[in-house]
Amino acid sequence: MPVYLTYFIQILLVIHVLKTGRDRYWIWLLLFLPLIGGVAYLVVEIIPELSSGIRGQRTRRGVQNLLDPGADVRTQAAAWEQSSNADNGRHYAQALLAAGRAAEAEEILNQVLAGFFKTDPALMLLKAQALFKQAKWEPALVMLENLQQNHPKLHSPEGHLLYARTLEQTGRIDDAIKEYRAVAGYYPGAEARFLLGLALKNSGQDHMAIEEFRNMIRDAELAPAHFRKSEKHWLDLAAKELNTINGHDLI
């Protein structure tokens, strides 16, 4: 690429940073690392903005956290300080949870789960997640059950899976397996099926666990390559668990 074209693109990206109010650290990256900074800016800011999909948003957060781990928390904290409304509280709590600061997220959610937003489904689910990450199993279960009671028609694969995990942590293993089976049928990705197989194994149902892990791996082999790539973590764990069970000469 000609040098003048590189500079031209660099200037355009800097202008985009200024016009759209992006974090100013992008300017430094674009000026001092024009090639790497430009590619990073496209991946983190431009492409996800165009796609506006969940995968694009995850990519954006992942690269942004790699470049500046505390950027999202700082941005959301500033918005929260400027206006402590429910929407800003939700975004701030999400950033805190992603940063592993569940106790702080719970504090923010306690403030916004009031009045008109006392039964807001997104806030209630975030509160349950914050409680779960702090190993507060029973309060998390109560929050999830309240969520179901207030929003019986809510369709949330993420919330359903969290409910199954919370049941398992509170010792309700049979109920947990029932919920794992239900959510595994529609949950996007392989995590729910892996957790189902693991729950079966942990409850002593090794033969059923073997069947679940085998079917999970076989189905993935028939799925598109991008699915196997995105779910590699869970597929590898399933293969490892399958090998562990088989090592006990159960089949």
Angle (CA) 169 100 161, round 5°: 35
**pLDDT value, residue 53:** 47
pLDDT score for 32: 78
Longest Cα–Cα distance of the chain, Å, equals 67
Question: What is the structure's pLDDT at 250?
Answer: 46
Tell me the mean pLDDT in the region 121-142.
Answer: 97
In the predicted structure, residue 52 carries a pLDDT above the cut 50: no
For 187-202, write each residue's pLDDT tens digit: 999 999 999 999 999 9
pLDDT over 70 (residue 80): yes
pLDDT > 70 in the chain, percent: 84
Q: Which of 59, 39, 41 is nearest to 51 (CA)?
A: 59
Q: Six-digit token pair at 76?
A: 């959301």
Query: pTM to 2 decimals?
Result: 0.73
CB 234 within 8 A of CB 190: yes
Q: 100 — alpha (psi -120 to 50), left (phi > 0) or beta?
A: left
Q: Is the dihedral of CA 76, 79, 81, 84 positive or negative?
A: negative
Please state which of the ranges 111-115, 121-125, 181-185, 245-249 shows the lowest mean pLDDT: 245-249
User: Which residue bears the tokens 């000609």?
Assistant: 2
* pLDDT higher than 90, residue 37: no
Mean pLDDT of the chain: 86
Going along the chain from its start, the domains and CATH numbers come out as: 155-251 (1.25.40.10)
Instruction: Tell me if residue 171 falls in helix, strand or coil.
Output: coil
Higher pLDDT, 33 or 143: 143
Q: How far apart (Å, rounded) are the C-alpha atoms in residues 159 and 219?
A: 24
pLDDT for 217-234, tens place per residue? 999 999 988 899 889 999
Torsion of CA 129, 133, 139, 141, to 10 degrees: 60
User: Counting beta carbons within 10 angstroms of the beta carbon of residue 50, is it exposed (0 to 12), middle (13 to 18) or buried (19 or more)?
Assistant: exposed
